[in-house]
Structure 1
Amino acid sequence: MKKNPYFKEYEFKCKCGKCELPKGVPSDELVDVLCEIRGHYNAPVTINSGYRCKEHNAEVGGAKSSQHTIGSAADFVVEGVKTEDVHQYVLEKYGNKPFGIAIKHNFENPFGGFVHIDTRGKKARWTYS
């Protein structure tokens, strides 16, 4: 993993608890984006889901071609910042980039849910239901 001031490799590991991160995961571009977001808010960023092995991805209902399975995606929250506000910032800052950007709302808790970002190489936008 690219050296950076904010994130450790273990934060991106698959939640299955059985596999190791493949070499080069997470992608350098993803780390750069997450570091920029962390710096912008000057607040901790928690990675809810980083890399996922194919088995774990299937268990959590991820798309078969999920960017999580190649280490170029993260679902995250920023401590003390409403999920919608983070999503809007990511759209404004990275909306013209060839990234996947999504939001999972938690309508009972504006700080719940998460923002998804991936460096897939083409634009994709969606909302998780």
Structure 2
Amino acid sequence: MMYSLREDGNWRISDHFFVNEFRCKDGTDPVCVDGELLDILECVLLKFGKPVVINSGYRTPSYNKKIGGAKFSQHMYGRAADIVVKGVEPVVVYNFLCEAFPISCGFGLYQSFVHVDCRATKSRWKG
């Protein structure tokens, strides 16, 4: 779904998330967020009962290129977020996601965050 950061930034797009949490770090409008990604993030929040911080959500192609993102990054389609769950080690979040979504989605484990995307196929990696 496409949103305007200026017009919809404070709009709640799921039970616990707002448009502005997914904005591109370059401040551009619009903001793209896939509903399936929101469902996955809500699942994480409900499992751990702690705030889920979106470190990186939607990225414009130019911003993605600038930061060295993957050429076909799911972030550019609003289908990915790099997250931190306050007070929970990334490996615990990663393991939960892999168990909860065994046949689809992309999950990447990094030292300080977990990459989450709602691609149709299964992909797992450690960065």
Q: Does TM, scored on the shorter chain, surpass 0.5? A: yes
Cα drift, residue 120 of structure 1: 1.2
**1:95-123 alpha-carbon deviations (Å, 9 max, x no partner):** 22x21111111xxxxxxx11011111111
CA distance in 2, matches of 1:61, 1:103: 18
Matched, 1:27 2:34: yes
Residues of 1 paired with 2:73 and 2:119: CA distance? Answer: 10
The code of the aligned residue for 2:122 comes to K
Q: Does 1:101 align with 2:107?
A: yes
Q: Determine the C-alpha separation between the residues in 2 that align with 1:16 and 1:81.
A: 28
Instruction: Pick from 1, 24, 28 the counterpart of residue 18 of structure 1.
Output: 28
Report the TM-score, using the length of structure 2 for normalisation. Answer: 0.87
Name the SS of the counterpart of 1:61 in structure 2: coil
Q: What is the aligned partner in structure 2 of residue 116 from structure 1?
A: 115
The two structures have a TM-score, normalised by structure 1, of 0.85
Q: Is the 8 A contact 1:72 1:118 kept in 2?
A: yes
Deviation at 1:13, TM superposition (A): 0.7
1:49 alignment counterpart:
56
Q: Which deviations, in whole Å up to 9, do the C-alpha atoms of 1:19-78 show, x marking residues without a partner?
A: 321xxx311110011011101111000000100000110111101100000000011010
Aligned to 1:87: 94
Matched residue type, 1:11: E
CA contact (8 A) 2:82 2:113 kept: yes
What is the letter of the counterpart of residue 114 of structure 2?
A: V
Contact residue 58 and residue 76 of structure 2 kept, 8 A? yes
Aligned partner of residue 117 in structure 1, secondary structure: strand
Backbone CA RMSD of aligned residues: 1.3
Question: Which consecutive residues of structure 2, in runs of 5 or more, have no partner in the other structure?
Answer: 2-11
AA aligned opposite 2:106: G
- Partners of 1:61 and 1:90 lie apart in 2 by 25
What is the match of residue 4 of structure 1?
14
User: How many corresponding residue pairs?
Assistant: 117
The share of aligned pairs that are identical, in percent, is: 39
